[in-house]
Amino acid sequence: MLPHEQGLNPYVDRSLTFEYFFVRKLMLRRYSQGFILMPGGLGTLDEIFETSTLIQCGKLERFPLVMMGVDYWQPISDSIRQVMLSTGTVGEGEIEFLRTDSPDEAVAYLRKNAPPVADRDTH
């Protein structure tokens, strides 16, 4: 529970609450086939970077990451590319996000790139 927690999205049909944040993040990744990233705060960035790190290190199978809200995510994405790629802390292709404002494009990208459930790595 966070001090400024928002209410549930009205389209959520199943909700879980966790006492520890690391357990929440573990469960979020464990049962996901991809992420649609909405504009958010530091917790959202934490989840993006941790997931990207696990993919980069081969601890989590690569799956699609979609950034909804081009104007919001563009400066963050540009900074990652300019700083991390230019210094060699990440390689080309290690950080792959689709940036879009189109829900239809996001869903099509997820359907095309999500691994089958049975093939998901269970690290």
Within a domain: 57 = yes
Number of residues assigned to the chain: 123
What mean pLDDT value characterizes the chain? 85
**Type and span of the H or E element at 20:** none
Question: Which carries the bigger pLDDT value, residue 44 or residue 101?
Answer: 101
Partners of 67 in beta bridges: 37, 99
Within 8 A by CB and 6+ apart from 90, the residues are 56, 80, 84
Within a domain: 98 = yes
User: Average pLDDT of 72-88?
Assistant: 88
pTM: 0.76
- Rounded Cα gap, residues 71 and 79, in angstroms: 14
Within a domain: 109 = yes
- For 66, the 3-state DSSP assignment is strand
Number of domains in the chain: 1
User: Average pLDDT of 99-105?
Assistant: 96
Question: Which carries the bigger pLDDT value, residue 96 or residue 89?
Answer: 89
36 pLDDT band (50/70/90 cuts)? very high
Give percent above pLDDT 70 in the chain.
89
Question: Which carries the bigger pLDDT value, residue 95 or residue 27?
Answer: 27
Range of the domain at 103: 36-114
Q: What is the CATH number of the domain that holds 69?
A: 3.40.50.450
